[in-house]
């Protein structure tokens, strides 16, 4: 029996308001870095996918914020290379990092609010499970999503990133359910679906606009799928 549903954040509940490369390039120009959106976007994607998991299991809590910034600093720098000698990269990075901590940088998918309302009306506990950093709770609060869920679990707080089982186990614990009673929803097949199932939870992939027997195209279809999860 499913008693709780968790959602991935970026790509499932929310998405950048514009392409990341566009945002980086626009902000960079304020700090003497002339960059074009398309190559910045491509470089960002390469750096992001090559980066190690966004989790620091052997770091004390007081040092995690610094590790988070360092992780993102390397990605932003790689996306903006080559940097002119006159560029103020540190100030540029600070501006980019701050920008993505706030609601203006993101949009909430239209199916999110009605889906959450329906699931909550059914008595299900709700949560967010994301490979994200400590900016996530404040960001979700600004986007009016934090109050709609019962727990927010992110990788740098747990010390484990999806698809690791530990983050799903931590989410089940935060929601006071057994991991076998948890259904996780996300857009990434490996991190969200395969990771959740390997941890002993149920999982559904969301692939907007391309519903299949294995994925839903709209989160509002989730309520009808829950009864089919074995």
The CATH number of whichever domain residue 77 belongs to comes to 1.10.150.720
Residue 227 has pLDDT above 80, yes or no: no
Residues 88 and 53 in one domain: yes
pLDDT of residue 228 exceeding 60, the answer is: no
86 against 211, higher pLDDT: 86
The predicted model gives 199-226 an average pLDDT of 89
Q: Count the alpha carbons within 13 Å of 22 in the hemisphere toward its beta carbon.
A: 5
pLDDT above 60: residue 80 = yes
What mean pLDDT is predicted for residues 16-28?
98
| pLDDT average, residue stretch 205-226 | 86
Cα separation, 169 vs 166, whole angstroms: 5
Give the residue ranges of DSSP H helices in the chain: 20-29, 37-50, 61-80, 89-99, 112-121, 136-142, 155-158, 165-174, 195-199, 222-226
Mean pLDDT of 168-193: 97
Single residue among 61, 87, 103 that ends a domain in this structure: 103
Mean pLDDT, residues 8-27 taken together: 98
Range of the domain at 34: 18-103
What is the reported pLDDT for 104?
98
**Model confidence band, residue 208 (pLDDT cutoffs 50, 70, 90):** confident
Say what the pLDDT of residue 225 is.
83
In a shared domain, residues 48 and 155: no
Nearest to 22 by CA among 8, 39, 5: 39
Give percent of the chain with pLDDT exceeding 90: 90
**Mean of pLDDT values over 10-30:** 97
Long-range CB pairs of 56-65, under 8 A, 24+ apart, other chains included: 56/156, 56/159, 57/159, 57/160, 58/159, 59/159, 64/134, 64/156, 64/157, 65/134
- Cα–Cα dist 7/175, whole Å: 13
Q: Within this chain, do residues 123 and 164 fall inside the same structural domain, yes or no?
A: yes
The pLDDT value recorded for residue 180 is 97
- pLDDT surpasses 90 at 209: no
Both 80 and 146 in one domain: the answer is: no
Q: Is the pLDDT of residue 191 over 60?
A: yes
Mean pLDDT of the chain: 95
Least confident of 108-117, 120-129, 204-213: 204-213
Q: Are 70 and 97 in contact (CB under 8 A)?
A: no
Residue 179 structure tokens? 């991991």
Same domain (yes/no): 138, 203 = yes
| Range with the poorest average pLDDT among 3-17, 18-32, 129-143, 202-216 | 202-216
Query: CA geometry: angle at 76 spanning 60 and 154, to 5°?
Result: 40
Closest CA to 24 of 86, 87, 107: 87
User: What average pLDDT score do residues 119-128 get?
Assistant: 97
Q: Are residues 119 and 167 in the same domain?
A: yes
The reply to whether 77 and 119 lie within a common domain is no
| 168 neighbors 185 (Cβ within 8 angstroms) | no
- Please tell me whether residues 48 and 122 are part of one structural domain: no
Per the document, the length of the chain is 230
- DSSP letter at 144? T
Backbone φ, ψ for residue 144 (5° rounding): 60, 35
Q: pTM of this prediction?
A: 0.94
Regarding whether 202 and 115 lie in a shared domain, the answer is yes
Q: What angle do CA 96, 100, 155 make, to 5 degrees?
A: 115
């Amino acid at each position: 029996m499913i008693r709780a549903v968790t959602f991935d954040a970026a790509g499932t509940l929310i998405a950048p308001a514009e392409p990341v490369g566009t945002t980086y390039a626009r902000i960079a120009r304020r700090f003497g870095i002339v960059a074009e959106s398309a190559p910045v976007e491509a470089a960002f994607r390469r750096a992001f996918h090559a980066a190690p998991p966004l989790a620091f299991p052997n770091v004390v809590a007081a040092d995690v914020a610094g590790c988070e910034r360092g992780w993102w600093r390397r990605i932003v720098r790689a996306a903006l290379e080559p940097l002119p000698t006159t560029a103020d990269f540190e100030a540029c990075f600070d501006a980019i990092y701050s920008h993505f901590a706030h609601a203006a940088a993101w949009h909430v998918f239209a199916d999110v609010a009605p889906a959450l309302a329906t699931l909550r009306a059914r008595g299900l506990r709700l949560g967010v499970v994301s490979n994200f950093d400590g900016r996530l709770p404040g960001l979700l609060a600004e986007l009016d999503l934090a109050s709609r869920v019962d727990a927010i679990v992110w990788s740098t707080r747990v010390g484990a990133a999806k698809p690791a089982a530990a983050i799903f186990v931590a989410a089940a614990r935060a929601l006071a359910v057994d991991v076998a009673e948890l259904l996780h929803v996300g857009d990434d097949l490996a991190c969200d679906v395969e990771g959740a199932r390997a941890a002993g939870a149920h999982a559904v992939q969301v692939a907007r606009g391309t519903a299949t027997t294995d994925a839903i195209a709209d989160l509002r279809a989730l309520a009808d799928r829950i009864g089919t999860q074995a």
